[in-house]
Amino acid sequence: MTNKRVYIAYTGGTIGMKPSDKGFVPEAGYFAEQINKLPELAYPDMPEIVVHEYDNLIDSSNITPDDWYRISEDISSVYNDFDGFIVLHGTDTMAYTASALSFMLEDLSKPVIVTGSQIPWSQMRTDARDNLITSLLLASQYDIPEVSLYFHNRLYRGNRARKVDASGFHAFQSPNFPALVKVGSQIQVNQEILLKDPSKPLKINKITHPKVVVLSLFPGFSADMLEAVLNSGIQGMVLMTYGMGNAPCNDMKFLHLLAAANHAGIIIVNCTQCLKGSVDMSSYETGQELLKSGVISGFDMTPEATLTKLSYLLSSECSVDEIKQKMQISLRGELSR
Ligand code: ASP
């Protein structure tokens, strides 16, 4: 065993679930015990581990910003005692949590790896063993000072990852940014693209419950629906548009509503419905009209990163203008610009 130490925050998810008559459900006590008995922990490259099983293990579909804060606080409370951190989490909202943590854990200088599995540890064909063992190696043996997501032989930047397959083992992709690490018979770290160690103390930013919404356009979308959403007291909106950030330019009510909302201080961020590529509102009339209405570009950010970044900034002391400016630059490597 090396003298490295890794802290495992076990929040729930399929990885530790057991079959029941209600389908797979988390079971207190079971998985933490299994991890501690893992035979691979005896190998020389393996770190010493401490597993913290959360009181209320959850299916990640139940996650809220309060849970993100609890995870951040948990990591912060033991930050100086460990070399790396693993967050065991359900896959359904893993990309949201990895994105949120990337904004909440400011000036991170140690690896925080979020992982889970498609098949529970308790089942014969589980993918949990590999995901956990490789995450332990990466969290202890490599200097990767950022929040990342490990799944099926790839380590991705957390705020670049998306769940793309409901059941396949290759469940995550990072469509607009290369994998940080490729794991095969060799472990290949893409050193040049890693975030740099800020050499500063860790700072925790809380995401409160800002009133944000994700709204996806579709042919036949009515401006009345937009009006209802804008009148619901929201502070920010991620508008999921077509292609390079396009929306109807022949619906005056739609455009006027956006302009009025912007004028009232509601921040509207344009995010493409495409899996890959970037928003560029200058390309088409249908994009330029949005730009004129005060909609700002989310460039190539994932919807998960856009939503959590907007939530983080709306929870901060920043003014509307500062939030708009920060949404359009990279804070944690979430955007290519
Ligand atoms: N529903 C599960 C969860 O997100 C799915 C999984 O973990 O793979 O907690």
Q: Is the CB of 118 within 6 Å of ligand 1? A: yes
pLDDT (tens, 9 = 90+) of the chain, 337 residues, equals 568 999 999 999 999 999 899 988 889 999 999 999 999 999 999 999 999 999 999 999 999 999 999 999 999 999 999 999 999 999 999 999 999 999 999 999 999 999 999 999 999 999 999 999 999 999 999 999 999 999 999 999 999 999 999 999 999 999 999 999 999 999 999 999 999 999 999 999 999 988 999 999 999 999 999 999 999 999 999 999 999 999 999 999 999 999 999 999 999 999 999 999 999 999 999 999 999 999 999 999 999 999 999 999 999 999 999 999 999 999 999 999 8
Last residue of a domain, one of 204, 222, 248: 204
Same domain, 90 and 237: no
Same domain, 219 and 291: yes
Number of domains in the chain: 2
What's the one-letter identity of residue 302? T
Quick one: CA dihedral 105, 108, 110, 115, positive or negative? positive
Is there a domain that residue 336 lies in?
no
Is there a domain that residue 244 lies in?
yes
Q: Please identify, by atom number, the ligand 1 atom nearest to the C-alpha of residue 14.
A: 7
CB 282 within 8 A of CB 288: yes
pLDDT tens-digit series, residues 41-88: 999 999 999 999 999 999 999 999 999 999 999 999 999 999 999 999
Q: Please identify, by atom number, the ligand 1 atom nearest to the C-alpha of residue 59.
A: 9
Same domain, 44 and 140: yes
Q: Is the CB of 91 within 6 Å of ligand 1? A: yes
Same domain, 19 and 141: yes
| Cβ atoms < 10 Å from Cβ of 213 | 15
Task: Determine the structural domain holding residue 173 and report its residue range.
Answer: 5-204
Strand partners, 8: 51, 86
Q: Is the CB of 3 within 6 Å of ligand 1? A: no
Tell me, what CATH number does 323's domain have?
3.40.50.40
Last residue of a domain, one of 185, 204, 223: 204
Q: Which residues are catalytic?
A: 14
pLDDT tens-digit series, residues 202-252: 999 999 988 999 999 999 999 999 999 999 999 999 999 999 999 999 999
Rounded distance between C-alpha atoms, residue 225 and residue 328, angstroms: 27
